[in-house]
Amino acid sequence: MSEQQVRPDADLDVTAEVERRARLAKEAGRELAALTRADKDALLLRLADALDAAAPTVLPANEADLAAGREAGLADSLLDRLRLDEARLAAIADAVRQVAALPDPVGEVVRGSTLPNGLKITQVRVPMGVVGMIYEARPNVTVDAAALALKSGNAVLLRGGSAAARSNQALVEVIRQVLTEQGVPADAVASVDDGGRAAARALMRARGLVDVIIPRGGAGLIAAVVAESVVPVIETGSGNVHVYVDAAADHEMARRIVVNSKTHRPSVCNAAETLLIHRNVAPALLPVLLGDLHALGVTLYGDAETLRLAGDVPVEPATEELYDTEFHGLEMTVAVLDSIDAALEHVRRYSTGHTEAIVTNDRVAARRWTSGIDAAVVMVNASTRFTDGGEFGFGAEIGISTQKLHARGPMALPELTTTTWIVEGDGQVRN
Amino acid sequence: MSEQQVRPDADLDVTAEVERRARLAKEAGRELAALTRADKDALLLRLADALDAAAPTVLPANEADLAAGREAGLADSLLDRLRLDEARLAAIADAVRQVAALPDPVGEVVRGSTLPNGLKITQVRVPMGVVGMIYEARPNVTVDAAALALKSGNAVLLRGGSAAARSNQALVEVIRQVLTEQGVPADAVASVDDGGRAAARALMRARGLVDVIIPRGGAGLIAAVVAESVVPVIETGSGNVHVYVDAAADHEMARRIVVNSKTHRPSVCNAAETLLIHRNVAPALLPVLLGDLHALGVTLYGDAETLRLAGDVPVEPATEELYDTEFHGLEMTVAVLDSIDAALEHVRRYSTGHTEAIVTNDRVAARRWTSGIDAAVVMVNASTRFTDGGEFGFGAEIGISTQKLHARGPMALPELTTTTWIVEGDGQVRN
């Protein structure tokens, strides 16, 4: 990448350079689009081996990022996400092998028919072209994004957090080397990290050169990309996820689902943040649920009725703001409601449209829930943790979309493609 | 709508009022989402009858718009698109009946499976919620958009060109009246025309309240909406459409397809703008094609080789800018090329990704074309005029998308829906 250095202090130069790389990526993407599945899988398997062998260049670069990060006072959690070691690098390589094993979405026939005039129309999946990734300082995303893009026949321009710039550069070198070895233009994968924030801006404005931008990171990053980008964005959203325990819930099932939804992996977007419970079942069941959660270290915030029923379990008063919070940790808000309608109303008010679950043995209540909720995933009698590309059997997951266009819910390789209509005739014209 | 008057001079008030209407639309949308197909069809058929009976209020309002337009010096073509009469109103009502006859996209199961752990997952089409339409002064679009939105279970906020404000208001009154009669909240269809440009801006910023914006109109309108909107946009694009006559083309077929693609209806986006022809076939075929086009009143612009071969047919010199132009009329650029690769290269340079056609009897050339072109529709041996929702058998067409996200090519009712995953279990949790 050294021949591609740009001066981050000169925005116009950065824009021109990002556009130049996007043009090269677009050309390279045309060659990728023509590769067979066998070509792409061979490329990815070679890349996995090359990553396994790349510790001597990648780990020192990562060490330099870590040292700079410590000096800059980065939080321990950020440093941990930034850190690579032999084991993590091996895991990254393995993830590439898993992408190689997935079916190729390109060429899939989505639908088709023969029109009354004899024209044969076929809608076929084709690569997007050039994917722009804007993400935070996590070097694994660099390889992950490149592997998913290559498998779906797309070129990719990468803009990672500057704290990981040295690690990303080392990884991108490995990828480009492998591309060249395999006879694919290296420009199919390029970083624009060297252009800093100006490069991210240029990427978001490269309409016509970049086909889609996928932001991956916190809510702030995503909101900024949505606001600024004129390139279409596929948003991966945050999850303010609710579990509603209905009057007709099985008590043991409710305990299992509430505990699993909240505590199985509280830092991720499909973890539950709020427990809603029907008034009729609250006196018998809520104290047990609160006890379960408290025993697992969950800090609880409840409405007046929850506080009244909590018994010995410590519960702080809930607020509007707390009901509106995605905790990413062992905290949970609780509300006792008069009806399923009140629960639907609460969810409408606070939901981010990610995953909303009901626990009930009542068919009517289940139907009301599945038809009344506006979310990517609606669960009946299952843990919210199942909203996941891997669990859904997609193999890979680029993220979970909480937007309504193009993709909603877990996104995998087909979501990195678009379609084209092939129309075949023998001279038909319109009258 | 009189209770909804806003002062267009007070942007903040306009924003608050647009947001208020969007909230009402969202609530109304929830009721629409629960309607059966029978309910929706009955509503649309009643609306069609009401439109037939509405001439006494709609036509005078339209007359007032026309008078104001003439006074403001609107072009005749714009006045013609603005004008309503008994026959045009009847045609608008008939279009509503046609939408009623289309299948309901809501509830369609897109895919599903039972996971190894017994969870049943089903991806189902559901309405978007609230659709924002931003369009030019064409009153028929007001009814068309409302009918398509209602059929797909969506509420709609309409912002038409101010030159049609009185006509639109009269039409929206009819629609809201019918909604009320049929027991559906009138707020499912609302105009924000009374808020002027500030209302359009507020619509584009109503993220979370408006689910998708569809601009309908010229390239300038669409580009402005894409640049300004933070609500996701479905773009309907322009068409710089090419027909490439290959060395292996059947001559009579080439004549039919070139003439039909250019002259059948030159003002629309699927009409051809450029004729490309292989050098080997140009001496025999190009003079005939130019003669055909000239005889039908087409003004021709060609490269040096075209000028050399044109004989008696008048051809002006082509320029970069002309090759880059969507004429919307009886003009056409022409180029003679050395190979199919040169034709692909020309298309890549100038195409807007709408429709690109080849005329050839050579299987290899046809395959190179279909795999080498990046467009919504790729034609082999058929007129470009077939890129059309009606021709494709979709019944209705909202527009032709030339973007790659969500929808590409002719868009119909399913493209006005999103999906939700329904996950049904019996107590599954993750380990």
User: What CATH number does the domain located at B241-386 have?
Assistant: 3.40.309.10
Q: Going along A188-298, which residue ranges are E strands? A: 189-191, 212-216, 241-245, 272-278
Task: Specify the length of chain B in residues.
Answer: 431
pLDDT in tens, A368-380: 999 999 999 999 9
pLDDT in tens, A20-57: 999 999 999 999 999 999 999 999 999 999 999 999 99
Residue B1 scores a pLDDT above 70: no
pLDDT at A348: 95
Residue B50 scores a pLDDT above 50: yes
Q: Which residues of B, range 155-194, sit inside 8 Å of A by Cβ?
A: none
**CA of residue B306 relative to chain centroid, distance:** 34
- A3 band by pLDDT with thresholds 50, 70 and 90: very low
pLDDT in tens, A403-427: 899 999 999 899 999 999 999 999 9
Residue A276 distance to chain B (closest CA, Å) = 17
- B10 band by pLDDT with thresholds 50, 70 and 90: low
Does B232 reach chain A within 8 Å, measured CB to CB? yes
Residue B327 scores a pLDDT above 50: yes
Q: Which residues of A, range 372-411, sit inside 8 Å of B by Cβ?
A: 372-383, 385-387, 391-393, 403-406, 408-409
Q: Which residues of B touch A128 (CB under 8 A)?
A: 404
pLDDT at A9: 55
Which chain B residue has its CA at the smallest distance from A421's CA?
A: B377
- B2 band by pLDDT with thresholds 50, 70 and 90: very low
The H or E element containing residue A366 is helix A363-372
Which chain A residue has its CA at the smallest distance from B379's CA?
A: A423
pLDDT in tens, B68-110: 999 999 999 889 989 999 999 999 999 999 999 999 999 999 9
Handedness of CA B85, B88, B94, B95 (dihedral sign): negative
pLDDT at A388: 92
pLDDT in tens, B294-312: 999 999 999 999 999 999 9
- A216 band by pLDDT with thresholds 50, 70 and 90: confident
Decide: helix, strand or coil at residue A151: helix
Q: What is the 3-state secondary structure (H, E, C) of chain B?
A: CHHHCCCCCCHHHHHHHHHHHHHHHHHHHHHHHCCCHHHHHHHHHHHHHHHHCCHHHHHHHHHHHHHHHHHCCCCHHHHHHHCCCHHHHHHHHHHHHHHHHCCCCCCCEEEEEECCCCCEEEEEEEECCEEEEEECCCHHHHHHHHHHHHHCCCEEEEECCHHHHHHHHHHHHHHHHHHHHCCCCHHHEEECHHHHHHHHHHHHHCECCECEEEEECCHHHHHHHHHHCCCCECCCCCCCEEEEECCCCCHHHHHHHHHHHHHCCCCCCCCEEEEEEECCCHHHHHHHHHHHHHHCCCEEEECHHHHHHCCCCCCEECCHHHHCCCCCCCEEEEEEECCHHHHHHHHHHHCCCCEEEEECCCHHHHHHHHHHCCCCEEEEEECHHHCCCCCCCCCCCCEEECCCCCCCEEECHHHHEEEEEEEEEEEECCC
Q: Where are the domains of chain B?
A: 11-236+413-421, 241-386
pLDDT in tens, A249-278: 999 999 999 999 999 999 889 999 999 999
Q: Which residues of A touch B344 (CB under 8 A)?
A: none
pLDDT at B6: 47
Give ipTM to 2 decimals.
0.90
Does A422 reach chain B within 8 Å, measured CB to CB? yes
pLDDT in tens, B150-166: 999 999 999 999 999 99
Q: Give the CB-side neighbour count of residue A426, counting CA atoms within 13 A.
A: 3
pLDDT in tens, A85-99: 999 999 999 999 999
Handedness of CA A211, A215, A219, A225 (dihedral sign): negative
Residue A139 scores a pLDDT above 90: yes
Contact A381 B428 (CB under 8 A): yes
pLDDT in tens, B338-397: 999 999 999 999 999 999 999 999 999 999 999 999 999 999 999 999 999 889 988 777
Does A249 reach chain B within 8 Å, measured CB to CB? no
Residue A8 scores a pLDDT above 50: no
Calculate the alpha carbon distances from A37 to A42, A103, B326, B370, B392 in Å: 9, 8, 38, 18, 30
pLDDT at B397: 77
Chosen CATH of A2-236+413-421 out of 3.40.50.620, 3.30.470.20, 3.40.605.10, 3.40.50.2000: 3.40.605.10
pLDDT at A4: 46
Q: Which residues of A touch B387 (CB under 8 A)?
A: 421, 423
Q: Give me the percent of chain A exceeding a pLDDT of 90.
A: 85
- A236 band by pLDDT with thresholds 50, 70 and 90: confident
How many Å apart are CA B404 and CA A395, to the nearest integer?
A: 24
pLDDT in tens, A275-301: 999 999 999 999 999 999 999 999 999
Average pLDDT over residues A315-336: 96
- B180 band by pLDDT with thresholds 50, 70 and 90: very high
pLDDT in tens, B206-245: 988 999 999 988 888 888 998 899 898 888 778 899 999 9
pLDDT at B137: 85
Residue A114 scores a pLDDT above 60: yes
pLDDT at B3: 38
Residue with tokens 């450029």: B274
Burial class (CB in 10 A: 0-12, 13-18, 19+), A43: buried
pLDDT at A77: 84
Contact B421 A264 (CB under 8 A): no
pLDDT, averaged across chain A = 94
- A10 band by pLDDT with thresholds 50, 70 and 90: low
CATH 3.40.605.10 holds for B11-236+413-421: yes
Q: Which residues of A touch B418 (CB under 8 A)?
A: 404-405, 408
pLDDT in tens, B117-160: 999 999 999 999 999 999 988 899 999 999 999 999 999 999 99
How many Å apart are CA B271 and CA B143, to the nearest integer?
A: 26
Q: Which of A341, A374, A394 to mutate to test the interface with B (most CBs of B within 10 A)?
A: A374
Which chain A residue has its CA at the smallest distance from B378's CA?
A: A422
Does A270 reach chain B within 8 Å, measured CB to CB? no
